[in-house]
Structure 1
Amino acid sequence: MSNKIKEREIQIERLQNNLSPIRKIAGWTAEVLGDKIGVTKQTISNLENKKTPMNFTQYIAIRSVLDYEISNNKENEVLPKVVALLLDCDDELDEADYSKVQDVVGTVAATAAGGTSTDKLDTVFDVLIKTLPFVVPIIGTIIGTSANWSKKLFK
């Protein structure tokens, strides 16, 4: 298998593994995300529960609506940080550290699902992420490169 195909599969798997918390932090139900990409809420549920594998087209569609949301909803300061950490920090985190980041994001997502406002969500995220000192130095550098996911994928 070529490196390009393997990298694509890793990126798709990363998004599928983190789809539920990212969706919740974006403030979307499964139905809303499904409407945005032209699938049913059951399809989103199946992806999140890993009943069906995410395909490349779904990956591109979801990343595109995430990019749009990040660009157009400046009030949600957590979403770009979470997307950058979970989807775009290729070599910055080892497996154990990545798992710790996922735990923090899961807590933030549960808080978001409970109806917490975006400004309070940002505070929760900042407090929790500071418990992971290895993340603080890299967060600023990866947020700026998050929009380059498609360039890496198609080069």
Structure 2
Amino acid sequence: MYSKLEKELQIRALQDSLSVIRKIAGWTMEDLGEKIGVTKQTISNLENQKTQMNLTQYIAIRAVFDFEIQNNKCNEILPEIIALLLDKKHEYSEVDQKKIDEATKTISAAAAGGINGAALTSLSGSLLSSIVAGAAIGAPIGPVGMALGSIWLSKILNSKNGKDKK
């Protein structure tokens, strides 16, 4: 379960990475907005830090990304990028996090430019392998990674009467 501060950090991490993750998913702002029931402008405001993401938006966005991961096996990069930028972010030093952020921006730009499949997997592996030694970047995430989908939700929602358990 996340403390109030950990919830805020998770929400901030998603907001900071939203544009990158959305592009790697292959979606426009309008596509993501339609999936969670908001306008393209709302997505733009979140990505450009004009409005702060709330818990409801966080849950909706994570849910559609998890759904995409489970239903689009062709996009092998998406689950790994989400794991690096959100679920395992705390495992890397600040210096490595900055390198990961830069590498994922390059990967998302390539994805937005139409590069996908094996070419995107290769690019991702070459950019991230030296940063995240031992990580299986570019390889299918497998059942352990898929289980993360339910872990983040249970952690962020696990509270009693709206207050974090001690």
Give your verdict on TM over 0.5.
yes
Q: One-letter code of the match for 1:31?
A: E
Once residues 42 and 15 of structure 1 are traced to their aligned partners in structure 2, the CA distance between those partners, rounded to angstroms, is 17
How far the C-alpha of 1:138 sits from its partner, in A, is 4.5
CA contact (8 A) 1:83 1:146 kept: no
Say yes or no: does 1:87 pair with 2:78. Answer: no
Percent identical residues: 50
CA contact (8 A) 2:25 2:75 kept: yes
State how many pairs are aligned: 151
1:78 matched residue in structure 2: 77
How far the C-alpha of 1:144 sits from its partner, in A, is 5.2
CA contact (8 A) 2:70 2:146 kept: no
Q: 2:153 aligns with which of 145, 150, 153?
A: 150
- Listed as ranges, the matches of 1:6-155 within 5 Å are 6-132=5-131, 135-138=132-135, 143=145, 146-147=148-149, 148-155=151-158
Q: One-letter code of the match for 2:83?
A: A
How far the C-alpha of 1:145 sits from its partner, in A, is 5.1
Once residues 108 and 148 of structure 2 are traced to their aligned partners in structure 1, the CA distance between those partners, rounded to angstroms, is 20
How far the C-alpha of 1:88 sits from its partner, in A, is 0.3
- Scaled by the length of structure 1, the TM-score of the pair is 0.91
Stretches of 4+ aligned residues off by more than 4 angstroms: 138-142
Once residues 90 and 30 of structure 1 are traced to their aligned partners in structure 2, the CA distance between those partners, rounded to angstroms, is 24
Once residues 13 and 6 of structure 1 are traced to their aligned partners in structure 2, the CA distance between those partners, rounded to angstroms, is 10
Once residues 128 and 64 of structure 2 are traced to their aligned partners in structure 1, the CA distance between those partners, rounded to angstroms, is 25
How far the C-alpha of 1:94 sits from its partner, in A, is 1.6
How far the C-alpha of 1:146 sits from its partner, in A, is 2.7
From the two aligned structures, give the one with the greater helix fraction: 1
- Scaled by the length of structure 2, the TM-score of the pair is 0.85
- Structure 2 unmatched runs, 5+: 159-166
Structure whose alpha-carbon radius of gyration is higher: 2
2:164 matched residue in structure 1: none
Q: One-letter code of the match for 1:27?
A: G
Q: One-letter code of the match for 1:47?
A: L
Q: One-letter code of the match for 2:145?
A: I
Q: Can you list the C-alpha shifts for 1:84-103, whole angstroms capped at 9, x where unaligned?
A: 00000143112111111011
User: Secondary structure of the residue that 1:136 maps to in structure 2?
Assistant: coil
Once residues 57 and 42 of structure 1 are traced to their aligned partners in structure 2, the CA distance between those partners, rounded to angstroms, is 17
